[in-house]
Structure 1
Amino acid sequence: MTRRVLFVCLGNICRSPAAEGVVREIVGDRLRLDSAGTSDWHRGKPPYRPMIDAAARRGIDLRGLRARQFTRRDFLDFDLIVAMDQDNRADIERLRPEGATTPVRLFTDYVPETGLDHVPDPYYTRDFEATLDLIELCAAGLVRDLF
Structure 2
Amino acid sequence: MTVPEGRGIGTDVFRILHVSTGNVCRSPITERLTRHALGHRLGGAAVDTAGGLIVESAGTWGHEGAPMEANAEAVLADFGADASGFTGRELLDEHVIRADLVLTATRDHRAQVISMGHSAGLRTFTLKEFTRLVRAIDPATLPDPLHDGMVERARALVRAAAALRGWLLAPSAEADEVNDPYGAPITYFRSVGDEINEALEPVVTALTGVPTGR
Q: TM-score, normalised by structure 2?
A: 0.62
Q: Counterpart of 2:56? A: 34
Give the distance between the partners of 1:123 and 1:34, measured in 2 at CA.
20
Write the deviation string for residues 54-77 of structure 1: whole angstroms up to 9, x where unpaired: 211221121311110111112321
4+ runs of 1 displaced by more than 6 Å?
A: none
Aligned-CA RMSD value? 2.2
The question of whether the paired residues in 2 share the 8 Å contact of 1:75 and 1:102 is answered with: no
Give the whole-Å Cα distance in 2 for the aligned partners of 1:6 and 1:100. 12
What is the distance in 1 between the residues matched to 2:73 and 2:67? 9
| Equivalent residue, structure 2, for 1:81 | 102
Aligned partner of 2:129 in structure 1 is: 109
Q: Go from structure 1 to structure 2 and tell me whether the alpha carbon gap of 1:52 and 1:34 turns closer, same or farther (over 3 Å shift).
A: same
Counting matched residue pairs gives 145
Relative contact order, CA 8 A, sep 6+: which one is greater? 1
Q: TM-score, normalised by structure 1?
A: 0.87
Structure 2 spans left out of the alignment, 5+ residues: 1-8, 40-49, 136-169, 209-214
**Aligned equivalents of 2:120, 2:192: Cα separation in 1:** 31
- Retained in 2: the 8 A contact 1:80–1:104? yes
What displacement does 1:141 show? 2.0
Residues 44 and 68, structure 1, Cα contact 8 Å, conserved in 2: yes
Q: Partners in 2 of 1:89 and 1:139 — Cα distance?
A: 17
Kept in 2: contact 1:84–1:119 (CA 8 A): yes
Q: What's the counterpart of residue 20 of structure 2?
A: 9
CA contact (8 A) 2:36 2:82 kept: no
The Cα shift of 1:102 comes to 5.5
- The percentage of counterpart residues that share the same residue type is 28
Structure 1 unmatched runs, 5+: none
Structure 1's 131 and 54: CA in aligned 2 closer, same or farther, altered over 3 A? same
Structure with bigger gyration radius = 2
Show the counterpart of 1:65: 86
Q: Is the 8 A contact 1:81 1:102 kept in 2?
A: no
Residues 17-28 of structure 1: matches in 2 within 5 Å?
17-28=28-39
